[in-house]
Amino acid sequence: MSKYIKLAGFALIVMITLVNCKRDEFQFGDIKTPTNVAVSTAIEGVNTANPNGNGTGKIGITATATNAITYKILYGNGDS
């Protein structure tokens, strides 16, 4: 008898769970294309004595845009 009560209780819990589950519907808002995209670069260590930089190979990159969410800069060697 105890076995049937446990089985009935388990079945009841499963049915309640299945009935209460509903699928959420998600939607994107308006998708806007970024505009006014601009990228500027600067070589680090540039001065009159070192017009091509200080030899470290470091650069600074700044990206700006209107309606942009994220930026990803690919360097061409697999790094980003």
pLDDT, one tens digit per residue, over 8-27 is 888 888 877 777 667 778 88
Q: Is residue 59 part of a domain?
A: yes
Q: Per the structure, how many domains does the chain have?
A: 1
Q: What is the pLDDT of residues 45-73, one digit of tens each?
A: 888 888 888 888 888 899 999 999 898 88
Q: In which domain, by residue range, is 66 found?
A: 25-80
- Report which of 25, 41, 36, 50 is spatially closest to residue 75, judged by C-alpha positions: 41
Q: Is residue 17 part of a domain?
A: no
Global confidence as pTM: 0.52
Q: Is residue 15 part of a domain?
A: no
Q: Is residue 78 part of a domain?
A: yes
The answer to whether 39 and 67 are in contact (CB under 8 A) is: no
Spatial distance between the Cα atoms of 16 and 30, rounded to a whole number of angstroms? 37
DSSP percent split of the chain into helix, strand, coil, nearest 5: 25, 20, 55
Q: Is residue 10 part of a domain?
A: no
